[in-house]
Structures are given as structure tokens and as C-alpha cells.
Amino acid sequence: MNDTITGRVQEAVGSLAGDTKVQMEEIARQAAGAAEDAYGQVRDRARDVAGAVSKSVERQPIVALLVAGAVGCMLGLLLSRRRRPPQGP
């Protein structure tokens, strides 16, 4: 977030001075700050989802095994169909 604010300030200074290089550097810095913020949000959300899945597996282990088995079977079927050569007449 600090990079985003710094980037905006320096972009304004660059536009006043007419320095295109400074403007481009600050736009890049703003983009980097926004990407860093987005990464942090995604990381936090993934951690929350992993915790929820873990709790669900602890509460219902049999259901979790059945779901994992079904997903494995489906992936196996999908992948085996791709590897088979087409059969002609």
C-alpha cells in the first residue's frame, strides 16, 4: 500500500515536470503495490479455505474419503480418455 501512495505522489511530480520516465516508473510502482496487495488478499483467503476444509475433514472423515475417491476416479477417467488413440473402423 505504501508503494501505491508513493507511486501516486511521484507520478504527480513527474507529470508536473513533464518527465515521462518518472511517470512510467511510478505507474510500474503503483502496479507492483496493487499486485502485492492482491497477493496478500489471495493468500489470506487460501489460508481460510484450507482451515475450513481441514475442519470439515476432521468432522466427517468418511465423507472426505468418499469425495476424494470420487474426484480421483473422475480424474482417472478424464486422463485415460485423452491418452487413448482414436480407434478407426
Question: Mean pLDDT of successive 10-residue segments in the chain (89 residues)?
Answer: 72 68 85 94 96 94 95 93 65
Contacts of 24 (CB under 8 A, 6+ apart): none
pLDDT at residue 22 in the model:
77
88 lies in a domain?
no
77 lies in a domain?
yes
33 lies in a domain?
yes
Predicted TM-score (pTM) of the model is: 0.50
Number of domains in the chain: 1
pLDDT at residue 16 in the model:
63
Q: How far apart are CA 66 and CA 85, in angstroms?
A: 31
68 lies in a domain?
yes
Q: How far apart are CA 30 and CA 32, in angstroms?
A: 5
53 lies in a domain?
yes
41 lies in a domain?
yes
> Which three cell numbers, joined as nine digits, stand for 14?
513527474
89 lies in a domain?
no
Structural domain that includes position 31: 2-83
pLDDT at residue 4 in the model:
73
Q: Which long-range contacts (CB under 8 A, 24 or more apart) does 52-56 make?
A: none
User: Would you say 36 and 13 are in contact if contact means Cβ atoms under 8 Å apart?
Assistant: no
